[in-house]
């Protein structure tokens, strides 16, 4: 079986899982494009992307442009790849860049396009209460997430799934599907399907100020926010004037509701809080400058008598 010469473009851990699958495959990863390393922490040391770390460990050529310019297009032409695989790269690719490889550029996107185009499809699908999402592999064009669909595979979302667990599910399904589709592309054995723009929804980038919980909302919608915003920015509330971040929860319906934000009970290792409709059951939470703890440990360290979440 002939190898494909591949250039990979991606940045976070989700993308790195796909890169690892390519490295372990029979194909040849010629180079990696990933976002520039950034200084962070007290020592202002460079923090490299997971994709860069894996590329470095495997002696793969690394490119980290601020944006795609003629210089990057010349570099891609010199590499002469058969295809560019894009997974959560974070930079806009130009029409000229996309047209350079023999088979163009394909993208692995964690939603069933055209639903949830954009920057935060996993978080927004959880927040919206979707029960079904999936992986889409598409032929890229110059418009954001509007390329023709090559392949889709469904992935279910349970009430207890968070962004963390869904990233793992999507990465496993996406990496496996990618290898199959690459072989199909090489054998000229794919069919393209245009997206229906009328069915499109947009997954706006998550903003930190969205993390604040409104206890007038239903318990279900608050729970979905908590799960969607784990691992960032983490849903938060105020308890007796102190910020508390909530990492894990459940919800249940109630026949009679209390004052939203007031604590219904804090026995049996759970903290139950009244909402606008139903009860939120807090499982794991975190005070400022403290580690994440179970509700049981929180109850044992904080006097909750008469306190209320705001």
pLDDT tens digits for 243-293? 999 999 999 999 888 999 999 998 778 899 999 999 999 999 999 889 999
pLDDT tens digits for 145-179? 999 999 999 999 999 999 999 999 999 999 999 99
3-state helix, strand, coil in the chain (%, to 5): 30, 30, 40
Is the pLDDT confidence value at 1 over 60? no
Token pair, residue 126, equals 């959880």
pLDDT given at position 43: 64
Q: What is the CATH number of domain 5-203?
A: 3.40.50.170
pLDDT given at position 45: 75
Query: 208-301: what fold?
Result: 3.10.25
CB-side neighbour CA atoms (13 Å) of 303:
2
Beta-bridge partners for 87: 10
Cite the DSSP H helix spans in the chain.
13-24, 50-57, 70-79, 95-98, 121-127, 163-186, 219-228, 295-301
Q: What is the number of residues in the chain?
A: 310
Q: In percent, how much of the chain has pLDDT > 70?
A: 98
Residue 99 — very low, low, confident or very high, per pLDDT cuts 50/70/90?
Answer: very high
Which range, 4-13, 43-52, 255-264, 292-301, has the best average confidence (pLDDT)? 4-13
> What is the spatial distance between Cα 98 and Cα 106, in angstroms, rounded to a whole number?
9
pLDDT given at position 34: 97
Residue spans of beta strands (DSSP E) within 169-295: 202-203, 235-239, 242-252, 263-265, 271-274, 279-287, 293-294
Token pair, residue 194, equals 């245009």
pLDDT given at position 32: 98
Is the pLDDT confidence value at 205 over 90? yes
> What is the spatial distance between Cα 48 and Cα 41, in angstroms, rounded to a whole number?
13
Residue 42 — very low, low, confident or very high, per pLDDT cuts 50/70/90?
Answer: low
Residues in contact with 272: Cβ distance below 8 Å, sequence separation at least 6, in sequence order = 263, 264, 265, 266, 279, 280, 281, 282
- Please indicate, yes or no, whether the overall pTM of this predicted structure exceeds 0.85: yes
| Residue 53: alpha-carbon gap to chain centroid | 19
> What is the spatial distance between Cα 92 and Cα 16, in angstroms, rounded to a whole number?
19
Identical fold for domains 5-203 and 208-301, yes or no, is no
Per-domain boundaries in the chain: 5-203, 208-301
> What is the spatial distance between Cα 118 and Cα 177, in angstroms, rounded to a whole number?
21
pLDDT given at position 41: 64
> What is the spatial distance between Cα 276 and Cα 5, in angstroms, rounded to a whole number?
55
């Amino acid at each position: 079986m002939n190898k494909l010469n591949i250039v990979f473009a991606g940045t976070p851990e989700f993308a790195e899982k796909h890169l690892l699958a390519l490295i372990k495959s029979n194909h040849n990863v010629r180079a990696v494009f990933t976002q520039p390393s950034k200084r962070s922490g007290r020592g202002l040391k460079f923090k490299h992307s997971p994709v860069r770390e894996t590329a470095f460990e495997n002696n793969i050529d690394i490119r980290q442009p601020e944006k795609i310019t003629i210089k990057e297009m010349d570099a891609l032409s010199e590499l002469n790849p058969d295809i560019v695989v894009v997974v959560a790269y974070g930079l806009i690719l130009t029409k000229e860049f996309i047209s350079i490889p023999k088979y163009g550029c394909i993208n692995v996107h964690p939603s069933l396009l055209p639903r949830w185009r954009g920057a935060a499809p996993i978080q927004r699908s959880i927040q919206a209460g979707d029960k079904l999402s999936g992986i889409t592999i598409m032929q890229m064009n110059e418009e954001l997430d509007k390329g023709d669909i090559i392949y889709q595979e469904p992935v279910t979302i349970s009430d207890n799934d968070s962004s963390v667990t869904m990233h793992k599910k999507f990465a496993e399904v996406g990496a496996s599907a990618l290898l199959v589709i690459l072989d199909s592309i090489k054998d000229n054995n794919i069919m393209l399907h245009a997206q229906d723009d009328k069915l499109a929804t947009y997954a706006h980038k998550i903003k930190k100020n969205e993390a604040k919980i409104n206890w007038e909302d239903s318990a279900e919608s608050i729970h979905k926010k908590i799960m969607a915003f784990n691992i960032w920015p983490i849903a938060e509330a105020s308890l007796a004037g102190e910020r508390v971040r909530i990492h894990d929860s459940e919800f249940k319906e109630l026949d009679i509701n209390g004052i939203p934000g007031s604590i219904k009970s804090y026995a049996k290792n759970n903290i139950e809080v009244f909402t606008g409709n139903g009860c939120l059951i807090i499982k794991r939470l975190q005070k400022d400058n403290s580690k994440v703890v179970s509700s049981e440990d929180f109850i044992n360290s904080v006097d909750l008598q008469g306190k209320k979440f705001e």
